[in-house]
């Protein structure tokens, strides 16, 4: 084999760098951004509408007008890159720029434009967002988090961001590190679970980049997992190369999780501009590689307008700890599942983010650089961007027998290009730099993963094992109510299901139902005395009941397992610490650390033990070790304060607590000291907390000298946004009930019980609170918390009392109008809405409700007028505004058809096809228009226009493939086939619907077909008077017969 090498080295020097080369710096500066703010926090506890985020609340106010606002911007900068961070917006990386091109390789939004997308509502696009907890945009994504920044001994600079995930009480941190001399930056995640309970496990780092028609996506792998676990092909789906951005001009938004390769980089490249972006990590750190695109139609394009002003559309390239963002579907069997976070454990991993410049694409990535190879005929083109200074040789080996070494010298982000001519077929190509492999390609693809991504070869599960997996999925989704019901069904069917029994006992422990939990864990231990998880759960139940000897014995057995060893030893150390047995406590803390050197909970216990034993230097060394793992851990700074009690050290502790709910940080730390039996430390800590009703409660319960004063201060606080959820708070509230009479304490106790799964008990307490309560938000909240569990008359009384106390709360009007509408009194409902829309002009939620009511009442002209004026700021995936628009115009058309106003009807049918963007939804590529086409067919039949009649019938039939068998619109497709003389096809479709559809929908469709042919009465409860399909059939059947 002959080999010829042509070498070209382009050195593109970095420009615009501040300071001296090979230095990095980090700065903080108040920076003005044009901002579209969010507002209007919902005072109703989220237990009433989104219990999996409680104690967080949502926001409902979003602005169409901008204002200038100062934001705290952290900038990390070296010779090659500039990275910005927004601690007040979830700690997100705001953007990253490659300096030689001045192009952002992490999308940097020029405005801060909040829209209703995240779990709590507010979300803004761009940068890199950090999501921990359960699927969705983090509750902290738009609010302040804690942060620090510093320069490291090696010259790199770091900004650490993080906070508590309140529902799980887990703590997350991200160290954003920029080396002094590299052209990548790193995000090192630390996440730990300080609770003795499993928690849901979910993490995705959501990065954004620009999009353009010259863009190609480089994601190694051969399959694209969907959220359900469905397996699709990659990079070609249905004959379309969807790794090219421009080829995604069909359908809706795309969400692809690429899998099937051990290569763990991904990114994109703009071929015309010659720039790109990407991510790399070890496979075990972040195996998830997600590509997310807005629809290329106006359905996605509208979000470009909603989320930015001038920066253009973006895409997301996301790195995940799991293969996909799993959402179970009963229609897809998959080996993928949701994951759990083990108790008292810590998890750490790293991600790297980089730019690309003038090398043609991305073939492989390492810390040395990004390389791209393009093979055409007898020519191989090689492009390489080093991420650091290089001085050595690139070695090229082809087919294992020939090699060539090429001297290379340059700096980070230089463009190094080679052309390699070969005269024999290439079966294997390896490129290395100074012994480190940069790239390998072979015909056999050694990096392809051979694993089951579907359940084709899976053994059949028993019905009970399916139930177990279903229960576990609910558990890891934080849907504890459904998890409990499913575990109970499983154990009713199979009392000996060991894992189900252990999980159920742990769930009851979570609900603080300790006696019932113990009863169930006894059964598991009776089946297997040495079961490690059963012993760990048993230990936690005993500890919660105050039976420490029993707890220690059970944890000792759990520690026989590597899975629970460090965790069990840590809790044993905490027990001995709480009992004042410091030597034993120290021994077990060290045993815990021997098995996990980064065990944060064990290090915390050890530092306290050393302080109490007077070993100040050792305690400081332990705190230094903690700082290396978690620099944002507030425990470190408070322990330092306890050792010297100076105002400076107290100030040092306080000034780093910058998150949205600082009092929650104080309470969480106080819970640690309380667990250690150090109530005096907990009280001293809480006395420095920002004022809050729950802080006063905790101090009162732990310090008898302050009991009366603190309870008085607690009761004096308004109840809005006081949202108890911790297990520690529950006995405090029960104690407070015995000390003082106050409806507020009863209310808090009810909320705390409901948060801990004791919903019936909580509701009973809510019902006992009389009309002495003097806060509007209480009555509004109670009405919604008891909505399905109390008489509607009583709920209406609560709503009316709320309105009497506060006429400035639009939600009260909204709920009262819904009550009257549901009760059949549309006149009262409309009167309330008219008053509300006058008091709150521009509130699109109220305006939408009014349009719905006008539509129901047949006031279509007024509804149309309001639809022209309303401005809807939607949430992601929302289509309510457009659906309502379509319904109004179709109902108006039906009214014209009944009056035989054919031209007016035709005009309204055509208008119903429009997608006005003031309603918050853009038009998709192929909107389904079966309703319109069926009506248009009827109108044209009435006008004796046979060609148009046939055309629209065919349009209905052709869209039938877009429907699943559970869509009622299938009835119109069946009727269109019959009206077209295709009786056999109609019968085949009916058979398909009966085979694949759910029984209730099949019955509904059969009734609709009977209605069309005057068979039966069509008055089943499944047929609603306002059902649009039913109304179309009723109105047109005489025309189409």
pLDDT digit string, tens, across residues 502-540: 999 999 999 999 999 999 999 999 999 999 999 999 999
pLDDT at 855 over 80: yes
For residue 747, being part of any structural domain is answered with yes
CA 759 – CA 480 distance, rounded (Å) = 11
What is the model's pLDDT at position 1014?
83
Backbone angles phi, psi at 147, to 5 degrees: -160, 155
Choosing from 719, 738, 769, the residue where a domain stops is: 769
Backbone angles phi, psi at 136, to 5 degrees: 130, 170
In which band, very low, low, confident or very high, does the pLDDT at 4 lie, cut at 50, 70 and 90?
A: very low
CA 37 – CA 69 distance, rounded (Å) = 9
Burial class (CB in 10 A: 0-12, 13-18, 19+), 900: exposed
In which band, very low, low, confident or very high, does the pLDDT at 12 lie, cut at 50, 70 and 90?
A: very low
Exposed e or buried b per residue across 168-177, where buried means at least 16 C-beta atoms within 10 angstroms of its C-beta = bbbbbbbbbb
Q: Which structure tokens are listed for 640?
A: 């330092």
**Around Cβ 405, how many Cβ atoms within 10 Å?**
13
Full DSSP string of 835-871: HHHHHSTT-HHHHHHHHHHHHHHT-HHHHHHHHHH--
Q: What crossing angle do the helices spanning 662-675 and 693-702 adopt, rounded to 10°?
A: 20
Question: What percent of the chain lies above the pLDDT cut of 70?
Answer: 96
For residue 573, being part of any structural domain is answered with no
pLDDT at 700 over 80: yes
In which band, very low, low, confident or very high, does the pLDDT at 66 lie, cut at 50, 70 and 90?
A: very high
Q: 3-state DSSP call for residue 171?
A: strand
| HSE-CB for 706 with a 13 A CA cutoff | 17
What is the model's pLDDT at position 73?
98
For residue 488, being part of any structural domain is answered with no
Peptide bond into 35 cis (omega under 30): no
Q: Which structure tokens are listed for 990?
A: 């009916």
| Residue from 592, 607, 610, 617 nearest 637 by CA | 607
Full DSSP string of 753-815: HHHTT-HHHHHHHHHH--TT---HHHHHHHHHHTTTTS-HHHHHHHHHHHHHH-TT-HHHHHH
The total domain count for the chain is: 2
For residue 204, being part of any structural domain is answered with yes
| Residue from 376, 382, 373 nearest 406 by CA | 382
- Average pLDDT for residues 258-287, to the nearest whole number? 98
Strands 157-165 and 265-270: unpaired
Residue 515 CB partners (closer than 8 Å, separation 6+)? none
Choosing from 769, 800, 833, the residue where a domain stops is: 769
| HSE-CB for 994 with a 13 A CA cutoff | 9
Are the C-beta atoms of 34 and 111 separated by less than 8 Å? yes
For residue 92, being part of any structural domain is answered with yes
Domain hosting 695: range is 662-670+679-769
- Average pLDDT for residues 259-264, to the nearest whole number? 97
What confidence tens digit (pLDDT) does each residue in 763-811 have?
999 999 988 899 999 999 999 999 988 888 899 999 999 999 999 999 9
What is the model's pLDDT at position 796?
96
Strands 428-433 and 92-98: unpaired
Residue 673 CB partners (closer than 8 Å, separation 6+)? 679, 681, 682, 685
CA 504 – CA 495 distance, rounded (Å) = 12
Average pLDDT, the chain: 94
Strands 121-123 and 115-118: antiparallel
| Residue from 164, 167, 163 nearest 197 by CA | 167
- CATH number where 299 lies: 2.70.98.10
What is the model's pLDDT at position 1024?
52
Element (H, E) at 517: helix 514-527
Are the C-beta atoms of 811 and 780 separated by less than 8 Å? yes
For residue 874, being part of any structural domain is answered with no
What confidence tens digit (pLDDT) does each residue in 811-829 have?
999 999 999 999 999 999 9
Are the C-beta atoms of 416 and 381 separated by less than 8 Å? no
What confidence tens digit (pLDDT) does each residue in 608-621 have?
999 999 999 999 99
For residue 560, being part of any structural domain is answered with no
In the block, tokens 């929650």 appear at 664
Element (H, E) at 75: strand 67-77
What is the model's pLDDT at position 9?
34
For residue 444, being part of any structural domain is answered with no
pLDDT at 60 over 90: yes
Are the C-beta atoms of 192 and 347 separated by less than 8 Å? yes
Are the C-beta atoms of 531 and 498 separated by less than 8 Å? yes
Are the C-beta atoms of 825 and 819 separated by less than 8 Å? no
Residues in the chain: 1041
Choosing from 324, 340, 356, the residue where a domain stops is: 356
Residues linked to residue 525 through DSSP beta bridges, in sequence order: none
Question: What percent of the chain lies above the pLDDT cut of 90?
Answer: 90
Are the C-beta atoms of 381 and 363 separated by less than 8 Å? no
What is the model's pLDDT at position 815?
98
Exposed e or buried b per residue across 676-707, where buried means at least 16 C-beta atoms within 10 angstroms of its C-beta = bebbebbbbbbeebeebbbbbbbbbbbbeebb
In the block, tokens 């050694």 appear at 446
């Amino acid at each position: 084999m002959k080999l010829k090498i042509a070498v070209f080295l382009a050195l593109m020097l970095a420009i615009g760098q501040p300071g001296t080369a090979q230095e990095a710096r980090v700065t903080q500066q108040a920076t003005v951004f044009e901002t579209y703010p969010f507002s209007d926090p919902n005072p109703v506890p989220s237990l009433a509408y989104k219990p999996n985020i409680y104690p967080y609340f949502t926001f409902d106010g979003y602005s169409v007008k901008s204002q200038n606002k100062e934001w705290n911007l952290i900038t990390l900068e070296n010779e090659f890159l500039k990275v910005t961070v927004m601690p007040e917006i979830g700690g997100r990386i705001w953007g990253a720029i490659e300096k030689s091109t001045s192009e952002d390789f992490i999308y940097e939004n020029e405005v801060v434009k909040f829209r209703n997308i995240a779990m709590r509502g507010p979300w803004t696009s761009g940068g890199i967002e950090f999501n921990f907890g359960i699927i969705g945009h983090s509750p902290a994504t738009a609010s302040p988090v804690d942060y620090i920044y510093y320069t490291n001994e090696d010259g790199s600079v770091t900004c650490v961001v993080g906070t508590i995930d309140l529902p799980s009480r887990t703590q997350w941190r991200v160290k954003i590190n920029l080396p002094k001399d590299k052209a990548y930056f790193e995000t090192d995640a630390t996440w730990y679970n300080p609770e003795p309970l499993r928690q849901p496990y979910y993490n995705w780092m959501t990065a954004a980049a620009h999009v353009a028609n010259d863009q190609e996506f480089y994601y190694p792998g051969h399959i694209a997992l969907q959220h359900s676990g469905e397996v699709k092909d990659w990079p070609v789906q249905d004959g379309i190369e969807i790794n090219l951005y421009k080829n995604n001009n069909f359908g809706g938004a795309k969400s692809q999780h690429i899998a099937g390769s051990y290569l763990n980089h991904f990114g994109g490249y703009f071929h015309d501009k010659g720039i790109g972006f990407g991510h790399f990590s070890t496979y075990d750190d972040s195996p998830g590689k997600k590509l997310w695109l807005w629809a290329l139609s106006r359905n996605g394009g509208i979000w470009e307008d909603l989320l930015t002003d001038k920066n253009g559309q973006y895409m997301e390239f996301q790195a995940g700890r799991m293969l996909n963002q799993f959402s179970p579907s009963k229609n897809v069997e998959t080996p993928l599942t949701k994951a759990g976070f083990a108790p008292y454990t810590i998890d750490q991993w790293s991600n790297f983010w980089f730019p690309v410049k003038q090398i043609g694409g991305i073939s492989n990535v390492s810390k040395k650089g990004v390389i791209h190879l393009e093979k055409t005929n007898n020519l191989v083109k090689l492009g390489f961007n080093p991420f650091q200074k290089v001085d050595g040789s690139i070695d090229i080996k082809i087919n294992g027998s020939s090699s060539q070494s090429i001297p290379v010298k340059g700096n980070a982000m230089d463009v190094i290009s080679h052309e390699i001519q070969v005269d024999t077929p290439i079966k294997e190509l390896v490129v290395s730099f100074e012994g480190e492999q940069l790239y390998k390609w072979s015909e056999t693809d050694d990096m392809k993963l051979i694993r089951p991504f579907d359940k084709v070869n899976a053994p059949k599960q028993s019905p009970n094992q399916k139930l177990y997996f279903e229960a576990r999925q609910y558990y890891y989704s934080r849907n504890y109510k459904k998890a409990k019901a499913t575990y109970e069904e499983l154990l009713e069917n199979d009392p000996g299901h060991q894992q189900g029994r252990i999980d159920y006992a742990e769930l009851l422990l979570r609900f603080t139902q300790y006696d019932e939990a113990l009863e169930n864990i006894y059964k598991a231990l009776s089946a297997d005395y040495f079961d490690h998880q059963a012993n760990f759960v048993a230990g936690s139940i005993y500890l919660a009941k105050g039976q420490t000897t029993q707890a220690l014995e059970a944890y000792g057995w759990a520690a026989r397992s590597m899975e629970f060893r460090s965790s069990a030893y840590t809790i044993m150390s905490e027990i001995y610490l709480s009992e004042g047995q410091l030597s034993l406590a120290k021994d077990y803390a060290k045993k815990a650390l021997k098995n996990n050197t980064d065990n944060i909970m064990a290090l915390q216990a050890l530092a306290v033990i050393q302080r109490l034993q007077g070993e100040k230097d050792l305690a400081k060394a332990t705190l230094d070790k903690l700082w290396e793992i978690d620099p944002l851990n507030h425990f470190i700074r408070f322990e330092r304060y306890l050792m010297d009690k100076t105002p400076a050290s107290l100030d040092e502790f306080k000034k780093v607590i910058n998150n949205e709910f600082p009092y929650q940080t104080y309470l969480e730390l106080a819970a640690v000291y309380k667990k250690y039996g150090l109530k005096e430390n907990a009280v001293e800590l809480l006395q420095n907390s920002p004022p809050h009703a729950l802080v006063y409660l905790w101090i009162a319960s732990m310090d008898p000298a302050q009991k009366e004063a603190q309870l008085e201060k607690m009761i004096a606080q308004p109840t809005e946004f006081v949202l108890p959820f911790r297990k520690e708070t529950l006995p405090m509230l029960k104690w407070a009930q015995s000390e003082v009479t106050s409806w507020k304490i009863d209310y808090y106790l009810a909320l705390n019980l409901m948060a801990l799964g004791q919903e019936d008990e909580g509701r009973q307490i809510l019902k006992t609170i009389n009309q002495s309560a003097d806060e509007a938000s209480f009555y509004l909240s109670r009405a919604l918390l008891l909505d399905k569990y109390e008489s509607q008359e009583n709920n209406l009384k609560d709503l009316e009392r709320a309105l009497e106390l506060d006429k400035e709360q639009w939600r009260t009007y909204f709920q009262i109008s819904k009550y009257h509408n549901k009760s059949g009194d549309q006149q009262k409902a409309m009167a309330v809405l008219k008053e509300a829309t006058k008091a709150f002009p521009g509130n699109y939620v109220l305006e939408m409700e009014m349009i719905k009511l006008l539509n129901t009442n047949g006031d279509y002209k007024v509804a149309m007028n309001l639809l022209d004026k309303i401005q809807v700021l939607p949430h992601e995936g929302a289509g309510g505004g457009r659906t309502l628009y379509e319904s109004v115009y179709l109902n108006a058309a039906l009214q014209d058809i009944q009056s035989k106003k054919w031209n007016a009807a035709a005009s309204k049918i055509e208008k119903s096809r429009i997608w006005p963007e003031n309603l918050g939804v853009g038009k998709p590529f192929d909107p389904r228009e079966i309703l319109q086409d069926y009506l248009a067919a009827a109108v044209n039949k009435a006008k004796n226009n046979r060609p148009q009649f046939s055309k629209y019938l065919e349009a209905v039939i052709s869209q039938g493939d877009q429907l699943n068998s559970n869509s009622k619109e299938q009835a119109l497709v069946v009727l269109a086939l019959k009206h077209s003389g295709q009786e056999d096809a109609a019968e085949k479709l009916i058979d398909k619907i009966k085979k694949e559809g759910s029984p209730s929908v099949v019955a509904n469709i059969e009734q609709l077909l009977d209605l069309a042919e005057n068979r039966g009465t069509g008055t089943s409860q499944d047929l609603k008077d306002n059902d649009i399909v039913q109304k179309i059939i009723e109105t047109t059947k005489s025309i189409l017969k």
